[in-house]
Structure 1
């Protein structure tokens, strides 16, 4: 309803003549009323082909019937999604087109279910007559930012020369259009009129528009945009600066090098833009720039961000200049730890047996100190260097360093170092029967990181003799060990794997239950989803003669499985649209001072709500909707980190939920943004399989504030645990949140 006013002008458009479509045999002999009656009778159990047949009738009556069925007859996501697909058939069909495409627009912009929003946008994108028009109205509306962004992506795919004005308008922002409307309506204010909806500039949308108009911009304008910095009410311009730089590069303008130099030297510039600038300089000067790259790459960590330092090292490694390599070899082991990491990365791909032996001995020296009981920043940084060195040794292919790595595995005390040694030795000793035997032993060991690393490597070997070892690991009390074993069993595709999974599945719940169901479907193609009892009954009856389904036959069943999944999807706990399957979740909430700032208002001239209050309300609502057996905890961070419970996860029973909601209700906002320590604290809880982070700013205090280093540390902790991390960015674009969600297979959301 909220967008209906945006498309009233469609009534003035002449309907496009559209050739009649071939109508299915049933639709040819049955009228709309008959099909509708059958669909209303069977509701979600109806044959979805009836919905498709109704769509093929392509009359206004059929379109309105589908809209009514969406609202009143169907409860499952699947059946409603089928209606959404069918509504696309009415594009270009006289008086049926407007209500059908309007309904698609409403679903895209108001549905709580991501699957429905996604399908509505995709269907509009396939409507060749007026689909693009409706997508444009979404882009320039007050819909959620992610919906507008997806709509813009569809418009770009459908773009033609006639869209030039639209892209220019979107790139220039809503201010100009709003000003024109204000002048037009001057003196016509209606005090009873509903406030106008605000249309806010979205960084990603403006960048998509820029890419469409860039080729038509004059070079002076491009240079101006490449230098334009953020100012009052105009924020997050760094993406445009980067794209303008790339367009100037595409044109090969002679001023490119000086511009790139200026951007690279600007310490206030975003790291991602400076990375592009140094790439351009290296492309122009090659090995002549190597000495400068080395000097600047070893620069103080307070002024050289890690993302840029890594880019400098990677360029040096790609140049592989003999003089520079000799200089780097002499630098190994010297200087501060960040300088040593830089030199090591710059030597990636450099092969020298003497160098490998030197590095191996440095690793042995680096593991002499046992990990401290309390968090020690200096130890953590030293370990980063050791782990990077072990990874380089493993990738070297040099078997001469196996003894040193084996010594690390025997004498090391840090679980992360030991698991890294397992991975490196597997790379060097693949196919070695003695090493495989050692992996089998390690897979039953007491240390979870090492055990998981060994199980993952055994699964990759593809030898079905390891099924008993992997099956035994399904009985581990640690969920991450069970997950590692589960993946290995699926990869091996042995008949006995299914029986082990069915048996172990009986004790699972939440996210792990869903993973077992997915694994069993991949092995059998059976439709039992998360019903552990149904899987057991099937195995008891048919297990004796079971053989895994072929991958070709499995692919034929994917559509049916997707239908079952969507039909079975019920209301689950959500946090800012992120569906929570886990029963072992930690919420990490930013309560820094900036969380007192206001969110954007939905309406022109109105004030938004404080970020902290919106976050608190959403979290309390989410807590209420968690399943009774769920375990959860809440961490809050500003300059320091605090928690609802000190003892880790607890059941979300009635008492627990009420206490948690009271804790949330008392939260206030003050201080800095200590994201790193909040994440580190969450990872100390061995029971957690899902983390949800909400923050409104870049890290500003704590042990680590560099976003790239935080990303590296989280990836390190998570390599053999595989916790899913979802993130929510409030009020801006924060790459560190996007990174850690993508790296862990999680979802990233933004709201402003």
Structure 2
């Protein structure tokens, strides 16, 4: 019988060698793995080196003023800083080289900002970027080493480098660092001296208090004190309590008493701010006496409402009592405290009633010299979701603002003087001077506002400059600035954001001493209104709309 083809195939298949089963690839030999790691590490080192070299190049160009720190350069440097702070380079020299580069860049930012006040906002931003990067990359013990090798050493390098170290030491409250900052403050470099002062603010050692007391006094033949020195001293003494037996406390109390009686409302208001770290016995009698003096000036027609309000608010904070601006009532309270017949601080039920909140969207400024800065951008033409015309397109945010302004001015009365500023893509003033809140001027203000229909962007910063009568170079003329209070209405995010506010409050408003109140209509915003109001001591309210 013939053989079956199937049986033959099976027999033949059994004679063939077996095909090996597929298996997963095994690990590379150790020499190969080591070579791969070395190659990857080398590429990382080269990439990191290139970024570091690029950052050093940018620092040199900024230091020699070959380029400006504009938006494009900010973006480039931010990317370099991000990559360098996240780098896992195994190069042992990298941490110290990065530290040196960042320190140079921080010094350049501080130096350029000091040389170019008109551009200080941008340089401050760069300084903060670099400081944040150094906070992530400094090795343990680096601040102590930099303090000794750079700040304290006569061979520590250029003043900008030493100023950079002084800036980094601001949060180090050790006695050694305080002594180093005090000693370095005496350097001939103004940049280094000022940076040391900034880092000394808020420290509680008596030599620090004595230093800031000296900053309050005029130098040389001029009777004036540098506004920046005044601002630093105010910042220090307003946050640090002074012991009653402190020599600086007695000197500060005498300084405050003299300024409270000044003809200048700005000097008096600064004195109020400076007294917050002193005991009641040191300043309360001077505050009550000053209140009587300013009351007499008010009776003679001098606009003093803001000054009297700030003095009475300080007394209210100390006593827990809301008994107004009448100096006689405060005298009765203080005599009772001295005699032991009246408690120093009132219980909540004894505090007194708060003043009315009626006014401009709930804000009633304690002032008789006000500039209203009103948003005139296109979004103000949207329907207002509150008030008499709820939800109707005929009653817009802008129309509501006009109605609120009229009611506020009538409430404040003709002894109050005011002006208006509109801002959108630009800004414009109504009178460029303060006028009394009489009915004729109120009606004129309404007509002017109605003649300017909302349109354009939200250039709040330009509106603030217009309110301060600042020139195109950003310079402030206090002789032209009549107002002591600014009330802002805005309905959303601004064209420039909020980064400019802190430098503005520190470098410009510390001298102008304007109080900013703000109203935000709707839920949008970028923090600018809150920063202006809270940073100057004012209020910021939100309004549905």
Q: Per the shorter chain, which TM-score range?
A: 0.5 to 0.7
> Which residue of 445, 448, 467 maps to 1:663?
448
Task: Give 1:579's match in structure 2, choosing from 357, 361, 364.
Answer: 364
Instruction: Decide whether aligned partners of structure 1 residues 554 and 733 sit closer, same or farther in structure 2, where only a CA change above 3 A counts.
Output: farther
Q: Which residue of 1 aligns with 2:113?
A: none
Give the CA deviation at 1:341.
4.2
Q: How much has 1:472 moved relative to structure 2?
A: 0.7
Q: Deviations over 1:611-633 (max 9, x none)?
A: 32222232233222223332333
Matches within 5 A, 1:367-406: 391-392=167-168, 394-395=170-171, 397=177, 399-400=179-180, 402=182, 405-406=185-186
Q: Is the 8 A contact 1:697 1:732 kept in 2?
A: yes
Mapping for residues 224-239 of structure 1, pairs under 5 Å: none
Q: Secondary structure at the match of 1:483?
A: helix
1:727 to 508, 515, 518: 518
In structure 2, do the counterparts of structure 1 residues 360 and 515 end up closer, same or farther at CA, with 3 Å as the change threshold?
Answer: farther
Residue of structure 2 in register with 1:465 after alignment: 250
State the Cα distance separating 1:474 from its structure 2 match.
0.7
What is the deviation of 1:574?
Answer: 1.2
- For residue 639 of structure 1, report the CA deviation from its aligned partner: 1.9
What does 1:321-470 align with in structure 2 at a 5 Å threshold?
323=94, 326-334=97-105, 337=123, 339-348=126-135, 351=143, 352-353=146-147, 354-356=149-151, 361-362=159-160, 391-392=167-168, 394-395=170-171, 397=177, 399-400=179-180, 402=182, 405-407=185-187, 422-425=197-200, 430-432=205-207, 435=211, 438-439=214-215, 441-442=217-218, 445-455=224-234, 457-458=236-237, 460=240, 461-462=242-243, 463=246, 464-466=249-251, 467-470=253-256
Q: Which region of structure 1 is more displaced relative to structure 2, 622-631 or 345-354?
A: 345-354
CA shift in 2, pair 1:720/1:390, >3 Å: farther
- 1:582 match: secondary structure: coil
Q: Is the 8 A contact 2:259 2:267 kept in 1?
A: yes
2:307 to 512, 515, 538: 512
Matched position secondary structure for 2:230: helix
1:1-16 map, 5 Å? none
The answer as to whether partners of 1:584 and 1:688 remain within 8 angstroms in 2 is yes
Deviation at 1:484, TM superposition (A): 3.2
Following the alignment from structure 1 to structure 2, what is the Cα–Cα distance between the partners of residues 343 and 513?
44
- 2:206 is paired with a residue whose SS is coil
Structure 1 equivalent of residue 375 of structure 2: 590
Q: Alignment partner for residue 530 of structure 1, among 325, 329, 332?
A: 325
SS of the residue 2:520 aligns to: strand
Aligned to 1:565: 353
Matched residues in 2 for 1:706 and 1:690: separation?
22
Q: State the TM-score, normalized to the length of structure 2.
A: 0.61
Q: Quote the Cα distance in structure 1 between the aligned partners of 2:417 and 2:442.
A: 10
How far residue 505 of structure 1 moved from its aligned partner, in angstroms, is 0.8
Contact conserved, 1:629 with 1:651, CA < 8 A, in 2?
yes
**SS of the residue aligned with 1:671?**
coil
Structure 1 unpaired stretches of 5+: 1-290, 365-385
By how many angstroms is 1:590 displaced? 1.5
Match of 1:617 in 2: 403
- Contact 2:385 2:544 survives alignment (8 Å): no
Query: Contact between 2:364 and 2:408, CA under 8 Å: does it hold in 1?
Result: no
Larger radius of gyration: 2
State whether residues 439 and 458 of structure 1, in contact with CA within 8 Å, keep that contact through their aligned partners in structure 2. Answer: no
Once residues 194 and 417 of structure 2 are traced to their aligned partners in structure 1, the CA distance between those partners, rounded to angstroms, is 28
1:485 paired to 2:280: no
CA contact (8 A) 1:419 1:453 kept: no
Q: CA deviation at 1:576?
A: 1.4
Q: What's 1:301 paired with?
A: 71
2:486 aligned with 1:691: yes
Spell out, residue by residue over 1:317-370, the C-alpha distance to the aligned partner (whole angstroms, 9 max, x if none): 9x9x99557414314444984545411332248611345476971289xxxxxx
1:95-141 deviations in Å (ceiling 9; x for gaps): xxxxxxxxxxxxxxxxxxxxxxxxxxxxxxxxxxxxxxxxxxxxxxx
> Alpha carbon RMSD of aligned pairs, Å?
4.9
**Which aligned pairs between 1:6-405 and structure 2 lie closer than 5 A?**
301=71, 323=94, 326-334=97-105, 337=123, 339-348=126-135, 351=143, 352-353=146-147, 354-356=149-151, 361-362=159-160, 391-392=167-168, 394-395=170-171, 397=177, 399-400=179-180, 402=182, 405=185
Q: Which position in structure 1 is the counterpart of 2:530?
A: 738
CA separation in 1, counterparts of 2:318 and 2:541? 31
Contact 1:725 1:741 in 2 (8 A): yes
Using the size of structure 1 for normalisation, the TM-score is 0.46
SS in 1 for 2:407: helix
2:506 counterpart of 1:716: yes
SS in 1 for 2:256: helix
Provide closer, same or farther for how the CA distance between residues 424 and 630 of structure 1 changes in structure 2, counting only shifts above 3 A: farther
Q: Deviations over 1:164-191 (max 9, x none)?
A: xxxxxxxxxxxxxxxxxxxxxxxxxxxx
Deviations 1:67-89 (A, max 9, x none): xxxxxxxxxxxxxxxxxxxxxxx
Tell me, in whole angstroms, the C-alpha distance in 2 between the residues paired with 1:305 and 1:673. 24
Give a deviation string over 1:534-591, Cα, whole Å, max 9, x none. Answer: 335x38xx75x963989x9445523211xx224xx35x65111223223333221111
Shift of 1:606: 5.1
User: What is the number of residues matched between the two proteins?
Assistant: 415
* Alignment gaps of 5+ in structure 2: 1-47, 59-68, 110-122, 296-303, 469-475
Is the contact between residue 306 and residue 367 of structure 2 (CA under 8 Å) also seen in structure 1?
Answer: yes
SS at match of 2:353: helix
- 1:247-303 deviations in whole A, cap 9, x for unaligned? xxxxxxxxxxxxxxxxxxxxxxxxxxxxxxxxxxxxxxxxxxxx89x9999998369
Give the match for residue 540 of structure 2. 747
Shift in alpha-carbon separation, 1:554–1:747, aligned structure 2, 3 A? farther
Deviations 1:406-454 (A, max 9, x none): 457x957xxxx99876444556794228636524525984444433543
CA contact (8 A) 1:344 1:389 kept: no
Rounded to whole Å, the distance in 1 between the matches of 2:445 and 2:161 is 45
Which residue of structure 1 lines up, in the alignment, with residue 35 of structure 2? Answer: none
